[in-house]
Amino acid sequence: MAMTIDAYQDIMQGPLASFLQLSNKIGGEVATHAQFVKEAFDAQFEFLKTVAVSSQPSNADLQSMLKPTSDKIAAIQAFREKNRTSPFFNHLSSISESIPALGWVCVAPAPAPYVKEMNDAGQFYTNRVLKDWKEKDVTHVEWARVWIQTLTELQQFIKQHHTTGLVWSGKNKPTVLGGSGAPPPPPPIGGLPPPLPIADLKLSDQDDDRSALFAQINQGADITKGLKKVTSDMQTHKNPSLRSGPAPYKAPPTTVTNGTRLASAPAVSKPPTFTRDGKKWLIEYQKNNTDLLVENAEMNNVVYMFRCEGSTLQIKGKINSVVMDSCKKCSLVFDTMVSSAEFVNCQSVQMQVLGKVPTISIDKTDGCQMYLSSDSLDVEIVSSKSSEMNVMIPKGTSGDYVEQPIPEQFKTVVKGTNLSTICVESLG
């Protein structure tokens, strides 16, 4: 399987090497993050070299072999979380959202589409990198494109060499763990147990069961003579008490030796923050706070709202953009926005624009109500992997709104070598 190893090495020496070079050129957190990426690919490369000379191991051994790669993936994602205030946060998020693509080794029977799905998840942020830097520094633009190319070539590699899942090429060979080549452990002291006498072995009763089954089938119409008649008191439509059925099983509470119930560990809660860092307003971990207010906002200011719940944010003045990330049951009210309002990984959020907003972006969000003003009817709404999105359009000057849902269901047909997709309206 030298061809497989060489093909993976081509990815590492080709687009991945270019990605590392551009990351070092950008510097800062991007360069540090890229080093973690290199280590993750190195760990998977070592794993694939083991796969090429080994037979499929047990699940326990497989988990041990995959641990170096999974640890590097966790380090990449943790680094992003620790650097949310970085000016390169979109760069870090591009990698953090798509690096789980290296988990393709655990996916069957179609690992290649899984890599594409992870690549698409990261492109939400790579597109923001392209938008923010295309007029400033083409190095960042090339950086984003090379990373997408790296995962695209990884997908092609999997299609060619591991189409339906990871291929263990060492037929009838023991699994090599860590390349140590250590021999298997010796048998237990005392040797193997003596074989059972053949006379003591009993064949399965399967043949007898089959004979009895065929004998019943061959009875023909007489097979129903042994059935019991269903009386009125046994019929559910005449005896409603039979409809309830047995109560669902409930697991007993976990107890300790003194009979007290074990409480689950409480979720770690971080203190709420509301700070301004230069042009960026950071609002994090706010809970049930309906008086959040950003005043005297400037056109180049950006508001980032993260992990808030049950809170309302009002922005007065003209601002560049707002990002609401991983928020739940929150509301946003603002005057005018220069760029866009973005909702990522949110649940049950609301937005109201009093002036104008050119773009609303919704990604991985369940439940988003958007109240528009008469000046923002030319807004562009871009949504992906989201549900329960409704646009409230003002109706005249009475203050009433007309609610219009954003389509979630689509129909795609093949036309020649192209695809044609249209939205499908729900009739329910």
Per-residue pLDDT at 189? 41
Select from 309, 340, 339, 343 the least CA-distant residue to 324.
Answer: 343
Residue where a domain terminates, one of 137, 162, 187: 162
* Beta bridge partners of residue 255, listed in sequence order: 261
Residue where a domain terminates, one of 135, 162, 189: 162
Chain-centre distance for alpha carbon 72: 17
**Residue 395 CA: distances (Å) to CA of 16, 67, 168, 169, 405:** 53, 58, 64, 67, 16
Is residue 280 very low, low, confident or very high in pLDDT (cuts 50, 70, 90)?
confident
Q: Do both 280 and 418 map to the same domain?
A: yes
Per-residue pLDDT at 191? 41
Tokens (6 digits) for 394: 């003002």
Chain-centre distance for alpha carbon 324: 18
Residue 306: CB atoms within 10 A of its CB come to 18
Tokens (6 digits) for 318: 């003209």
In a domain, 69, yes or no: yes
Is residue 219 very low, low, confident or very high in pLDDT (cuts 50, 70, 90)?
low
* Cis bond before residue 109 (omega within 30° of 0): yes
In a domain, 223, yes or no: no
In a domain, 70, yes or no: yes
In a domain, 240, yes or no: no
- Report d(CA 264, CA 277) in Å as an integer: 37
Q: Do both 287 and 419 map to the same domain?
A: yes
Q: Give the ranges where 218-357 is alpha helix by DSSP (H).
A: none
Per-residue pLDDT at 308? 95
CB contact at 8 A, 327 and 342: no
In a domain, 230, yes or no: no
pLDDT at residue 172 is higher than 60: no
Q: Do both 151 and 19 map to the same domain?
A: yes
In a domain, 202, yes or no: no
Residue 333: CB atoms within 10 A of its CB come to 16
Burial class of 189 by CB neighbour count within 10 A (0 to 12, 13 to 18, 19+): exposed
In a domain, 281, yes or no: yes
pLDDT tens digit sequence for 74-106: 999 999 999 988 899 999 999 999 999 999 999
Select from 302, 303, 271 the least CA-distant residue to 285.
Answer: 271
Q: Do both 283 and 404 map to the same domain?
A: yes
**Residue 126 CA: distances (Å) to CA of 71, 273, 316:** 24, 28, 30
pLDDT tens digit sequence for 294-321: 988 888 888 999 999 999 999 999 998 9
pLDDT at residue 203 is higher than 50: no
In which residue are the tokens 């203050």 written? 399
Q: Which residues contact 9 (CB under 8 A, 6 or more apart)?
A: 45
Mean pLDDT of the chain: 82
**Cα angle: 68, vertex 98, 154; to 5 degrees:** 75
What angle, rounded to 10 degrees, do the helices at 28-51 and 2-13 form? 170
Residue where a domain terminates, one of 162, 191, 220: 162
Overall domain count for the chain: 2
pLDDT at residue 196 is higher than 60: no
Q: Characterize the bridge pairing of strands 400-405 and 410-415.
A: unpaired
pLDDT tens digit sequence for 24-59: 999 999 999 999 999 999 999 999 999 888 888 888
Range of the domain at 64: 1-162
In degrees and rounded to multiples of 5, residue 223 shows phi and psi of: -65, -25
* CATH, residue 60: 1.25.40.330
pLDDT tens digit sequence for 383-394: 988 999 999 999
- Report d(CA 346, CA 109) in Å as an integer: 31
In degrees and rounded to multiples of 5, residue 211 shows phi and psi of: -60, -40
- DSSP track, 171-202: TT----STT--PPPPPPPTT-SPPPPPGGG--
In which residue are the tokens 């046994």 written? 234
Tokens (6 digits) for 16: 């991945």
Residue 303: CB atoms within 10 A of its CB come to 24
* CATH, residue 323: 2.160.20.70
Q: Dihedral (C-alpha) 140, 141, 143, 148: value to the nearest 10 degrees? A: 150
pLDDT tens digit sequence for 250-264: 555 544 444 444 444
Residue type, 190: G
- Report d(CA 275, CA 157) in Å as an integer: 46
Is residue 399 very low, low, confident or very high in pLDDT (cuts 50, 70, 90)?
confident
**Residue 185 CA: distances (Å) to CA of 62, 182, 188, 189, 341:** 18, 9, 9, 12, 62
Q: Do both 145 and 1 map to the same domain?
A: yes
pLDDT tens digit sequence for 108-121: 888 989 999 898 88
Residue 8: CB atoms within 10 A of its CB come to 21
CB contact at 8 A, 287 and 307: no
Counting every residue written for the chain, the total comes to 428
Is residue 240 very low, low, confident or very high in pLDDT (cuts 50, 70, 90)?
low
- Report d(CA 44, CA 103) in Å as an integer: 9
pLDDT tens digit sequence for 313-370: 999 999 989 999 999 999 999 999 988 899 999 999 999 999 999 999 999 999 999 9
Per-residue pLDDT at 230? 65
- Report d(CA 211, CA 370) in Å as an integer: 68
In a domain, 321, yes or no: yes
For residue 298, what is the DSSP state? -
Collapsing DSSP to helix, strand or coil, 95 comes out as: helix
